[in-house]
Amino acid sequence: MNIEKIYNQVSTEFGKILPLKIRDDTPTAYFDWESITIPKKFLNWEENMLKNVIRHEFGHLFFSPRDPDVGIIIAYIGSIMGYDNPWIFVNIITDMIVDMTNIELFGIEYLKFLEWSMQDAEKTHGLLKVIAGVYKAKAIMMGLTTRLPEDDTGSMVFKILTDEREDFYKRVIKIARILRQYSFKKIYLHFVIHIYSKNKNCVNIAEALIRKNVKPEDLFDNSQYTNPGSFERFEVIDDPVIVTYKKMKAVAKYMELENDSGHIEHRERISARWNIGDPVETLDIIKTLSIYGILIPGIYSLKAKDINSGLGASEKRYRDCIIILDASGSMDGEKFERAREAAYVIARTTYENGGAVGLIPFSGGVWEEYIIYPTKNIGDVENLLFRLLPNGGTKMTSALKTALSMGSKYYVYVLSDAEVYDVKNSSFLLRRMKNRATFFLISDYSNVNRWFDMNGIKIVEISMDGIIKRVYTEVR
């Protein structure tokens, strides 16, 4: 058999040339993005069978998963849905897509290959028969005749997989639920990219989610990746992938702000001191008398002094601070995501300039295990900040009391929509932070109860779409 001729023919069909490897030590053909590998024993197969094996492996490059990130996200879904080996699940999903596409391209010829490779499907009631049922449904839809067996579950999977009205990954989740009951032990991996491990390679998965613009929290119910709170308490995310994803998104936003602002040097013109020996015409008499009422040489000059108040200015002082973050149910959704990123901006800016940061999230109260006392270890702050999921009521009293108990040397930043139940007590405690607190009001409503509006408390009103940049400006 001329394997080179067959391989070149398939390469021409797909318009792509990949290196071909022939090995003794592999049970099946596989594709690894750089080459296609075929077991040496396959060279004894009929020419048409071998040709369609190669077509299948090429199909992984062109039809599914098309790029490694898709495979990584499917594997992540498999892990959340309880599969012991998520990459086996990836192979099942991508194989079905590849084979259905090849049925469209090569018709009966490819169907005969599937009949031959799945000849035992009729005898089983397991996964193999389900997959054969998927291909049978595809053949029926195309008006093609095949000996592949029908299967009700396979027909259901086919309908889900081909329903393009629904998001692809939502369809994958539905199929994952259906296929969990079947054994995957006899399925070989032949789409190969072994970088997946839920606990060790969270960064790889988070990067794939970001590149494909997939929000992991939109894929599943909260119960599948959180440690649920009580009726009054926020929830806490347990899935390290989602935590890593949220952190990477916040870091990207922060770096974007840095890049946008780093090249701009803000300069402020103020009056310099007038000294004995300076020209008399540079003495600013009006400025001096307006302040002191008498002429005192050496106070104000008409000369200008430039003070660099931009990034990196030596005169700029950064305060140790405490962040009080509203994680109640009223903050749910985009409002909290922006508030979380704003809290990260405060924490990172303070940390990078040698300051200590504390974090007090609250909803119906405050819980000791979820308080970060002022620290210069930003990792502690990040580990809690990116695990929070808003839920529960809104009582700020405990958060304000906790912040006051940490001492008066800390500046306090409050991020909230101000929709609290305990207005009277919160107002009383906030007043005790006079001249050392900024209240970031995150709201698009004009009728907010302005209980926090008092002398000595700086109020910054911001809508969701402007919060991060405004907070960055305030903190810098």
Q: What's the pLDDT at 53? A: 95
Output the CA angle 70-194-158, nearest 5 degrees. Answer: 40
Which pLDDT tens digits describe the chain residue by residue (476 residues)?
689 999 999 999 999 999 999 999 888 898 888 899 999 999 999 999 999 999 999 999 898 888 889 999 999 999 888 888 888 899 999 999 999 999 999 999 999 999 999 988 777 778 999 999 999 999 999 999 999 999 999 999 999 999 999 999 999 999 999 999 887 666 665 555 544 444 457 888 999 999 999 998 888 877 666 666 556 789 998 888 999 999 999 999 888 888 876 543 333 334 455 566 666 555 555 445 444 444 444 444 444 343 333 333 333 445 899 999 999 999 998 899 999 999 999 999 999 989 999 999 999 999 999 999 999 999 999 999 999 999 999 999 999 999 999 999 999 999 999 999 999 999 999 999 999 999 999 877 667 778 988 999 999 888 777 788 888 888 87
Report the chain's terminal Cα–Cα distance, integer Å. 72
256: closest CA among 474, 468, 476?
468
Name the H helices within 216-333: 240-262, 285-292
- The residue count of the chain comes to 476
Predicted local distance difference test score (pLDDT) of residue 309? 33
Q: For position 27, what pLDDT does the model report?
A: 86
Task: Say if residues 33 and 193 touch (Cβ distance below 8 Å).
Answer: yes
The whole-number pLDDT of residue 186 equals 60
Q: How many CA atoms lie within 13 A of 359 on its CB side?
A: 31
pLDDT at 66: 84
Q: What pLDDT does 299 receive?
A: 47
What string of H, E and C letters represents the secondary structure of 78-138? HHHCCCCCHHHHHHHHHHHHHHHHHHHHHHHHHHHHHHHHCCCHHHCCCHHHHHHHHHHHH
Q: Please count the helices (runs of H) and the strands (runs of E) in the chain.
A: 15, 14
E strand or H helix that includes residue 389: strand 388-389
Distances (CA, A) of 150 to 131, 138, 144, 163, 187: 10, 11, 14, 20, 20
Q: If residue 474 lies in a helix (H) or strand (E), which one and from where to where? A: helix 467-475
Q: Which of 475, 470, 416, 413 is nearest to 443 (CA)?
A: 416
Q: In this structure, what are the phi and psi dihedrals at residue 226, rounded to the nearest 5 degrees?
A: -125, 160
SS3 annotation, 271-303: ECCCCCCCCHHHECHHHHHHHHCCCCCCCCECC
Q: Output the pLDDT for position 395.
A: 95
Amino acid occupying residue 113:
F
Torsion of Cα atoms, 88 then 89 then 91 then 92, to 10°: 120
* pLDDT for the residue 233: 87
Ordered domains of the chain (ranges, CATH): 3-179 (no CATH), 267-308 (no CATH), 321-475 (3.40.50.410)
What Rg value do the Cα atoms of the chain yield, rounded?
32
For residue 194, what pLDDT is reported? 47
Residue 281: its pLDDT value, please?
A: 55
